[in-house]
């Protein structure tokens, strides 16, 4: 690992997309990048007159900047930055992180993952750290400590690499990237309800610790169908596998009207429907933009009946994170 290194630029700006995780039975394993929204992070650096460990500031702007901590020890991007600064001994520099938040925070679209990923690839570029993809994935996952209390890689992988990603963590961290079908369409519905702090950690807490063997077999079979569907670019096969009998039943209780929204969506043409990540957003999959626009309207109608405002996003798989500019 490099230490005592100099920056190649004075600032670097990167973007990372929204994402969805699990896709039903792929809990903590499947991630899918979504091109609907992205967070943008600019890392600015200058030489300090005197080295100090208090060398990191955060400025937050954008459409989703409310209630986001600016303290680096509690901010997704800040935690990633702190880890990289420590590991590469970058204490002789001042850093300013400017974070443009566009992804809804705490609603299951990978907001924390996107900011973390954009920060990691910005530092990698800024100092020429030459991190490989596995190291970038691992550093980015540090940021999930802010929202989930643990490192997990599904949203991180979808945001970092785009398209569909399978993540393994035992016996070592590995990932498999698979290109998505060109005509795979998703509709994400975000109910504008109050969500708890550390929402992902709370959502993980409702998951049963023990499950019957037949349910585990059911989910494994469906997860295999999803993987086979992505490999063969078969949307119907993918959607046939998006069926979860373990996580969804536990988490849907936290989402008002979930069963009604799901049933109506399936009646109106959704090929599959599940919770997006830890929720409370839901996500439907189709093979037609026209059907997707109709389905978004249906979702809004159903939430209106519940007196709940919502936002809907028609999206396709993203192509992953990228460096936007350097100076």
Q: pLDDT tens per residue, the chain (327 residues)?
A: 666 688 888 999 999 999 999 999 999 999 999 999 999 999 999 877 666 667 899 999 987 767 788 999 999 999 999 999 999 999 989 999 999 999 999 899 999 999 999 999 999 999 999 999 999 999 999 998 877 777 889 999 999 999 999 999 999 999 999 999 999 999 999 999 988 777 778 888 899 999 999 999 999 999 999 999 999 999 999 999 999 999 999 999 999 999 999 999 999 999 999 999 999 999 999 999 999 999 999 999 999 999 999 999 999 999 999 999 999
Domain 11-178 architecture: 2-Layer Sandwich (3.30)
Name the DSSP class of 167. E
Helix (H) or strand (E) holding 85: helix 76-87
Q: Is 148 helix (H, G, I), strand (E, B) or coil?
A: coil
Q: Write the CB contacts of 202 (distance below 8 Å, at least 6 apart in sequence).
A: 196
Q: How far apart are CA 274 and CA 242, in angstroms?
A: 7
* Of the options 3.30.1490.20, 3.90.226.10, 3.90.25.10, 3.30.70.890, the CATH number for the domain spanning 185-315: 3.30.70.890
Asked whether 113 and 155 are in contact (CB, 8 A), the reply is yes
Task: Give the full edge-to-edge strand order of the sheet including 272-275.
Answer: 272-275, 282-286, 185-191, 310-315
Residue 230: the pLDDT is: 98
Q: Is 178 helix (H, G, I), strand (E, B) or coil?
A: strand
Residue 198: the pLDDT is: 74
Examine the residue annotation and report whether 214 is marked as an active-site residue of this protein: no
Asked whether 283 and 273 are in contact (CB, 8 A), the reply is yes
Residue 145: the pLDDT is: 83
Catalytic, out of 38, 98, 142, 144: 144
Asked whether 35 and 182 are in contact (CB, 8 A), the reply is no
Fold matches, 11-178 and 185-315: no
Residue 54: the pLDDT is: 73
Residue 4: the pLDDT is: 64
pTM score, two decimals?
0.94
Peptide bond into 175 cis (omega under 30): no
Asked whether 20 and 158 are in contact (CB, 8 A), the reply is yes
Residue 195: the pLDDT is: 85
What Å distances lie between residue 253 and 39, 69, 103, 203, 275, CA to CA? 29, 28, 24, 10, 11
Peptide bond into 165 cis (omega under 30): no
Catalytic, out of 76, 119, 200, 315: 200
Buried b vs exposed e over 214-241: b needs ≥16 C-beta within 10 Å?
A: eeeebbeebbebbbebbeeeebebbbbb
Examine the residue annotation and report whether 11 is marked as an active-site residue of this protein: no
Residue 287: the pLDDT is: 97
Q: How far apart are CA 157 and CA 79, in angstroms?
A: 18
Q: Write the CB contacts of 265 (distance below 8 Å, at least 6 apart in sequence).
A: 273, 282, 284, 295, 298, 299
Q: How far apart are CA 19 and CA 162, in angstroms?
A: 8
Q: How far apart are CA 93 and CA 265, in angstroms?
A: 52
Residue 50: the pLDDT is: 65
Q: Which residue has the tokens 């599940």?
A: 274
Give me the residue spans of the domains in the chain. 11-178, 185-315
Residue 319: the pLDDT is: 96
Q: How far apart are CA 188 and CA 295, in angstroms?
A: 10
Residue 52: the pLDDT is: 64
Residue 53: the pLDDT is: 66
The first and second tokens of residue 139, run together, are 């550093």
The first and second tokens of residue 187, run together, are 């509709």
Using alpha carbons, select from 70, 67, 60, 11 the residue that is nearest to residue 39: 60
Helix (H) or strand (E) holding 72: none
């Amino acid at each position: 690992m490099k230490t005592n290194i100099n920056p190649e630029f004075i600032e670097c700006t990167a973007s990372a997309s929204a994402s969805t995780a699990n896709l039903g039975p792929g809990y903590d394993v499947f991630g899918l990048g979504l091109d609907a929204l992205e967070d943008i992070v600019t890392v600015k650096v200058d030489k300090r007159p005197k080295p100090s460990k208090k060398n990191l500031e955060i400025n937050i702007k954008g459409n989703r900047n409310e209630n986001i901590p600016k303290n680096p020890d509690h901010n997704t991007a800040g935690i990633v930055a702190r880890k990289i600064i420590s590991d590469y001994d970058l204490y002789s520099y001042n850093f300013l992180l400017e974070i443009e938040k566009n992804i809804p925070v705490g609603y299951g679209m990978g907001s924390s993952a996107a900011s973390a990923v954009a920060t990691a690839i910005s530092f990698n570029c800024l100092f020429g750290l030459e991190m490989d993809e596995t190291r970038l994935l691992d550093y980015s996952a540090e940021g999930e400590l802010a929202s989930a209390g643990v490192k997990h890689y599904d949203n991180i992988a979808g945001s970092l690499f785009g398209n569909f990603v399978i993540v393994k963590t035992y016996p070592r961290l590995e990932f498999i990237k698979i290109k998505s079908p060109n005509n795979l369409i998703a509709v994400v519905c975000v109910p504008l309800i109050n969500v708890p702090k550390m929402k992902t950690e709370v959502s993980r807490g409702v998951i049963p610790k023990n499950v019957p063997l037949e349910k585990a077999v059911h989910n494994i079979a469906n997860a295999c169908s999803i993987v086979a569907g992505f490999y063969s670019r078969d949307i119907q096969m993918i959607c046939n596998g998006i069926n979860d009998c373990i996580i969804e039943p536990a988490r849907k209780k936290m989402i008002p009207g979930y069963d009604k929204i799901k049933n109506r969506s399936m009646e109106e043409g959704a090929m599959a429907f599940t919770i997006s990540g830890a929720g409370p957003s839901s996500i439907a999959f189709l093979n037609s933009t026209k059907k997707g626009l109709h389905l978004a309207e249906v979702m809004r109608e159903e939430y209106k009946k519940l007196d709940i405002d919502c936002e809907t996003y028609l999206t396709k798989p993203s192509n992953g994170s990228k460096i936007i500019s350097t100076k």
